[in-house]
Amino acid sequence: MMRQFDQVASLKEALAKWKSAGERVALVPTMGNLHAGHLSLVALAKNKADRVVVSVFVNPLQFGPSEDFDRYPRTYEQDCVSLQEARADAVFAPSVDEMYPNGQVQTLVTVPEALTGMLEGAARPSHFDGVTTVVTKLFNMVQPDVAVFGQKDFQQLAVLKRMVQDLSMPIELVCAAIKRDADGLALSSRNQYLSESERRIAPTLFKVLQSVRRAIESHNLDQKPDDDRADDDKADDGNADDFSALEASAKEALLSKGFDAVDYVRILQADTLQPAKPTDRDKVIVAAARLGRTRLLDNVLVS
């Protein structure tokens, strides 16, 4: 039977019993409004540990002044139904006062700007300080052996990996693959805001990123991202030493397919998030694009 906690003290009592019995604990941090993507994280966590704790907390520290914290969807009762069906062991849903008893002006955990000052952090300069601070507090409260995060928020995962490494936190971070609809659209709470016509366009984001991956893997850096030529139709581009032209073509492809704006398409080193070169081994293609008022994120790994 899944247990629900809203206070740190009672949660720690339950955790102490599990750990004294030698059970391994996994944490899945969320802000609620759960969908199948979140539940896939729970399923992966159950494979990694004996007990799974899911936190449900809408964190005010990661919302900027122009972002509406109060309007963020809160569906706690339905979330608990879904988590019960997913066989989570505990839900931790603290109030803001429970999480931040001294108010929001408090000690912050900050990861170097090389990881936090670009992509999502460029337009939201305090966002990742809020993420790393709340995750550190959750790690201290739960003291999990393993924590599971989704690949869709790739920059967030890279930031948290750096935090865990730099602060010598004894926690294994596990990355869960992106859960997608049948047409390829990455599952997200934001998808519910898409109109019918926008929903038809949205899967193009993943298709363009796949085309970029094929171009990189075939060394065909002149290929247009929406060009479906076979991989053996390669251009001899031995002088290319970066991916700027391919990134620009990807943006053009998304706009031509109906996206209203493209915040970025970047090809980066997977570990450092620095600009990738063709000779780098592990790369990630990250993108953020807008349909109406909905901002969609996606990424594709290239090894």
Residues labelled catalytic: 38
**Nearest residue to 137 (alpha-carbon basis) of 62, 201, 32, 233:** 62
By the 8 A CB rule, do 126 and 64 touch?
A: yes
Strand partners, 30: 56
Q: Helices in the chain by DSSP H: which ranges?
A: 8-20, 36-48, 76-85, 96-99, 113-116, 120-123, 127-142, 154-166, 196-201, 204-217, 244-256
Residues in a beta bridge with 54: 28, 91
| Helix 76-85, helix 36-48: angle, nearest 10 | 40
CA neighbor of 26 nearest in space, from 177, 130, 174, 179:
174
The DSSP bridge partners found for residue 72 are: none
Distance, in Å, from the CA atom of 15 to the CA atom of 143, rounded to the nearest integer, reads: 9
Given a contact cutoff of 8 angstroms between Cβ atoms, the answer to whether 215 and 221 are in contact is: yes
Q: Residue 20 is encoded by which pair of tokens?
A: 């004294």
Q: 192: helix, coil or strand?
A: helix
Using alpha carbons, list the distances in angstroms from residue 302 to 1, 38, 189, 209, 294.
Answer: 41, 24, 26, 10, 27
Please tell me the chain's helix, strand, coil percentages from 3-state DSSP, rounded to the nearest 5. Answer: 40, 20, 40
Count other Cβ atoms within 10 Å, centred on residue 141.
20
